[in-house]
Amino acid sequence: MLIKFKQAVFLVIALIFSAAAFAENDPYKEMQVAADKIFSTMNAQSAALKSNPNKLKEIVRSDLLPYVQVKYAGALILGNYYKSATETQRAAYFSAFENYLVQAFAQALSMYNGQQYQVETAKNLTGKNLISIRVLLIQPNQAQPLRIDFQWRKNSVTGEWKAYDLIAEGVSMITTKQNEWSTILRQDGIDALTKQLTNLSNRNIDPNAKQEG
């Protein structure tokens, strides 16, 4: 019994320390790691991406999506409609929304064409639970840098920081879609929005397309 008790105590202590370490993630460092990872992968696969831009979706899913609060972002879009949806409807919606995020993030990141990039310098996080971290894509010939702002949120329960929105050249994905999709939700409900998300997620990535406004 004593051995089992000690094992239980050890397990609890280990969980506490692992949770504390998990909660102390630095969003600025995470953003730098994510940027380094995704841009280095894009550079390494530049030839393949030029012939098939849709491969960028695979890169976003593996290198960027782990840093994103998919359900939080999706819940923001739904607003009050989240409460009235069934578990089955929510599951289908969040699956479609995740695929849409992959497409949207990939389209935004298609602005990258091998440029140098800069991740915003870390700032004091004391007392903050929402921050914006800017990534600049440095343009040649001293042209204005391209701006991609990632909105990060600190989970009130776990303390973990993750991104939930992307603002490309001043256009917020979440705000834009909240406004755009509110009519669909009001008139046709969550199932209709889920169907539209599925259609949108299947769009091809076009590096020459303008960002949505």
Report pLDDT digits (tens) over 80-113.
999 999 999 999 999 999 999 999 999 989 989 8
CA proximity to 207, closest of 54, 39, 58: 54
For 18, residues 6+ apart whose C-beta sits below 8 A from its C-beta are none
pLDDT at 208: 85
Distance of alpha carbon 177 from alpha carbon 174, whole angstroms: 5
* Average pLDDT by stretches of 10, the chain with 213 residues: 44 39 77 96 95 96 95 93 95 97 93 92 95 93 88 94 92 89 95 96 89 47
DSSP state for residue 16 in the 8-state scheme:
H
pLDDT at 48: 95
DSSP state for residue 68 in the 8-state scheme:
B
DSSP state for residue 25 in the 8-state scheme:
-
E strand spans, the chain: 117-119, 130-137, 146-154, 161-168, 171-172
Task: Answer for the pair 3, 11: CB distance below 8 angstroms, yes or no.
Answer: no
42-46: Cβ within 8 A, 24+ apart:
42/109, 42/112, 43/114, 46/114
3-class secondary-structure state, position 155: coil
Q: Report all structural domains of the chain as residue ranges with CATH numbers, in order of start.
A: 26-201 (3.10.450.710)
pLDDT at 142: 74
For 4, residues 6+ apart whose C-beta sits below 8 A from its C-beta are none
Extract the tokens encoding 120.
Answer: 């915003």
